[in-house]
Amino acid sequence: MRVSREKFAENRARILDVAGALFREKGFDGIGVADIMKAAGLTHGGFYGHFESKESLACEASKVLVEKARDRWQEIVDTAEGDPLEALLRHYLSRRNLQSQACVFASLTQEVSRQGARMQSAFAGGLTDLVDVLADIVVGDTPQARRANALATLSAMMGAVILARTMEDANLADEFLAATHRQLSRRAA
C-alpha cells in the first residue's frame, strides 16, 4: 500500500521524535532500530524508506533535539519577566529539568564524543546556538567578553546538570544546581 506524502512526512517526524526521546533515555547504542520503529508504531521494514542507517537517524534526531533546545531557550529569554538570564537559570537548573532529562546535551554529550564527525558537528552547531542566546543576555563590555562569559555560563549550567544527574542523593543533586545558580547569578550582577 502506497503512503501519501503527508503520511510519509508524519511518520518520519514521529520516528525522529520517538528516536530522540529513546536516545536521550538509553543512549545511541542502548536502543535498536526495531525498538525505535515499534515505539513509533511502525514496522521495522519501513525504516529504510526514511533513513539510510541508524547513524543517519541519530544525526537527524539530534539535529531536531538541538533545534528544539535552542528554540526553548530563546522562548524563555524572549518571554522573561525581568532578567532573562535569571529566567533561563531558573528553568535549566531546576529539579523539574533534571528529572525530565529533556536536555539533549546533558543526556548525550558523552555519547557524542564517541560518535563520528557528522554527529559531533550537529551537536557543535547546537551548542554554538546556545552560546549565541547566552551572549545576548550575559554581562560583558565587548562582544568577545560576552561570548567568553556565555561559554563559561553554558559550561557551568550543563556541568551542574550532568553532575546532579549522577547523584543518588537528591539533596546533593539539588546542591549542585543551587550552588551553580547562585554563582552564575552573582557573576551577572
- Asked if the structure places residue 35 within a domain, the reply is no
Handedness of CA 71, 72, 78, 83 (dihedral sign): negative
- Asked if the structure places residue 152 within a domain, the reply is yes
Model pTM? 0.85
- Asked if the structure places residue 142 within a domain, the reply is yes
pLDDT (tens digit per residue) in 118-134:
888 888 888 999 999 99
- Asked if the structure places residue 47 within a domain, the reply is no
Q: Quick one: pLDDT at residue 16?
A: 96
**CATH of residue 72:** 1.10.357.10
- Asked if the structure places residue 88 within a domain, the reply is yes
- Asked if the structure places residue 135 within a domain, the reply is yes
- Asked if the structure places residue 15 within a domain, the reply is no
Q: Quick one: pLDDT at residue 125?
A: 87
pLDDT (tens digit per residue) in 5-56:
898 899 999 999 999 999 988 989 899 999 999 999 998 888 988 999 999 9
- Asked if the structure places residue 178 within a domain, the reply is yes
Residues 6+ apart with CB under 8 A from 8: 49, 50
Q: Quick one: pLDDT at residue 98?
A: 81
Range of the domain at 122: 59-188
Average pLDDT, the chain: 91
The whole-angstrom separation of Cα 184 and Cα 100 is 22
Q: Quick one: pLDDT at residue 42?
A: 92
| Long-range pairs for 153-160: beta carbons < 8 A, 24 or more residues apart | 153/85, 153/184, 153/187, 154/127, 154/130, 156/180, 156/183, 156/184, 157/89, 157/92, 157/93, 157/184, 158/103, 158/105, 158/106, 158/109, 160/93
pLDDT (tens digit per residue) in 142-153:
999 999 999 999
> How many independent structural domains does the chain possess?
1
